[in-house]
Amino acid sequence: MSRDEELVERCLAGERDAWDDLVLAYSRYVYAICSQGYRLQGADAEDAFQDVFLRVYDRLGTLRDPAALRPWIAQLTRRVCLDRLAAGKREEPLELEDTGIDSTIEELDEAFAVREALTELSAECQEVLDRFFGRDESYRTIGEELGIPSGTIASRISRCLARLRERLTAGDATAGRNEGGSPSGEVGT
Amino acid sequence: MSYDEEKLGELLRMLSPAPEAWVRAAQELPTARAALDDLVARAEADAELRRRILDDLEAVLAAEGLEPGSALLAELRDRLTG
């Protein structure tokens, strides 16, 4: 059973921690689609973000294929963002839909797969890579926060990236691993 | 697919964390939803409470200790007026 299938099963069984886990697992992805894909900012981005998770919470039981959780959430997020843009009477949505959104979401899907592979590395590697790349922290800040010499951060990052690359390559070798299905797994959105 | 360090870094940068308060609010949705369900049930049985809620939704919710996001607020308004 994939992580997503397990998450959905636990949520539908009413496990309170499961919902927290689902939000944590997808918060960056939803945020990225809203802010990078549709360029929503400030209150618009926040409202869209909350609306997406409200819809996920309300409609999770209609998801036929729990393995398709990621594309289903992507589709919900796109719909929420387009609704919000339309409500604001902006002119960008159709243009964005036609030109850039699909490729942006493809890249975000790839980024999501990389982050999933990251969770399989040591806690130290996860921490260092997330601080440096995800949170844009400097070597000095990372060194101070983790209590390690800042002069060693670059080599740690390089070593962890090599491990991440190995993990991704190993994942490719076992083809078919959690492709994520299609959003057609839903009953209704 | 092959990844060099630069590409991996670029992909890791794409998924920066959402603001903590947003994540927390999303995690609290089940609790907020249950509290709003309770409020709607009370409002359906108490016309005065329903009127007060519709007059100043956010103030009544704040008095109840609730701080729902805009999506839940809109839903609550729909449920009370629908």
Tens digits of per-residue pLDDT, B22-71? Answer: 999 999 998 888 888 898 899 889 999 889 888 888 888 888 777 777 77
The pLDDT score that the predictor gives to residue B69 is 74
Residue numbers of the domain that contains B60: 19-81
Cβ atoms of A45 and A81 within 8 Å: the answer is no
The pLDDT score that the predictor gives to residue B13 is 96
Cβ atoms of A6 and A25 within 8 Å: the answer is no
pTM over 0.90: no
| A179 band by pLDDT with thresholds 50, 70 and 90 | very low
| A174 band by pLDDT with thresholds 50, 70 and 90 | low
Count of CA atoms in the C-beta half-sphere (13 A) of B5: 11
Q: Tell me which residue of A114, A86, A187, A43 sits closest to B71, measured CA to CA.
A: A43
Q: Which of A50, A115, A168 sits opposite B3 (nearest CB)?
A: A168
Least-confidence region, from A136-150, A152-166, A168-182 = A168-182
Fill in the amino acid letter for B15.
L
CA nearest to B17 within chain A: A28
How many domains, in total, are found in chain B?
1
| B1 band by pLDDT with thresholds 50, 70 and 90 | low
Q: Which of B3, B17, B26 sits opposite A53 (nearest CB)?
A: B26
CA distance A147 to chain B (A): 23
- On whether the A3-185 domain is CATH 1.10.1740.10, my answer is yes
What mean pLDDT comes out for the span A163-171? 89
Q: Which of B16, B33, B72 sits opposite A28 (nearest CB)?
A: B16
What mean pLDDT comes out for the span A28-39? 96
Neighbours of A94 (CB within 10 A): 12
The pLDDT score that the predictor gives to residue A95 is 53
What mean pLDDT comes out for the span A28-48? 95
Find the DSSP H helices in chain B: 5-14, 20-27, 29-45, 47-55, 57-63, 70-81
Q: Tell me which residue of A5, A1, A2 sits closest to A185, measured CA to CA.
A: A5
CA nearest to A36 within chain B: B14
The pLDDT score that the predictor gives to residue A188 is 42
The pLDDT score that the predictor gives to residue A176 is 46
Q: Which of residues 37-56 of A touch B (CB under 8 A)?
A: 46-47, 49-51, 53-54
Tokens read off for A103: 């490729």
Rounded to the nearest integer, the mean pLDDT of chain A is 87
Q: What residue spans define the domains of chain A?
A: 3-185
